[in-house]
Amino acid sequence: MSERLTDAQTLRSLRANVGTKSKIIASTRDLTAATGSVSYTGAGFRPSKVIAFGARDFSIGSFGFGDSGRVVRCVHNTGGGTAFYPSSALMLFETSSNQYQALGIDSFDSDGFTGTWTKVNSPTGTVTIFFLCLG
């Protein structure tokens, strides 16, 4: 039997979600680029959460999320399988064994967020990324 919400519960739920802001920021990342910080702007507000999706040539992909405490997690695929990356990466793109770039969140800013990409060894290619910023 399904639980029926009262009118008051429904109203509280709607009020809690009315102020939610959202914006998608689209970007790319050249995986040969050096380790460094990148600002992702265009949200129009200071996000408190971000959900990220990205892929390269239908062969590798990553999905991740982060919150206002900069706690981040991601799942990534390398063509050899799918893995959960339990460390501090919002996204991870591994082009071959131990050749990857990972993105962490440094700060949530007035118009988006800033993150640091960490390059390990010599990954190649360019990834397309979509960040869903939520406030």
Only one residue has tokens 């009315």, namely 18
The rounded mean pLDDT for the chain is 86
- What pLDDT score was predicted for residue 60? 83
- What pLDDT score was predicted for residue 1? 46
The 3-class secondary structure across the chain, one letter per residue, is: CCCCCCHHHHHHHHHHHHCCCEEEEEEEEECCCCCEEEEEECCCCCCCEEEEEEEECCCEEEEEEECCCCCEEEEEECCCCEEEECCCCCEEEEEECCEEEEEEEEEEECCEEEEEEEEECCCCCEEEEEEEEEC
- What pLDDT score was predicted for residue 17? 58
Q: Which domains does the chain show, CATH number per domain? A: 20-134 (2.60.40)
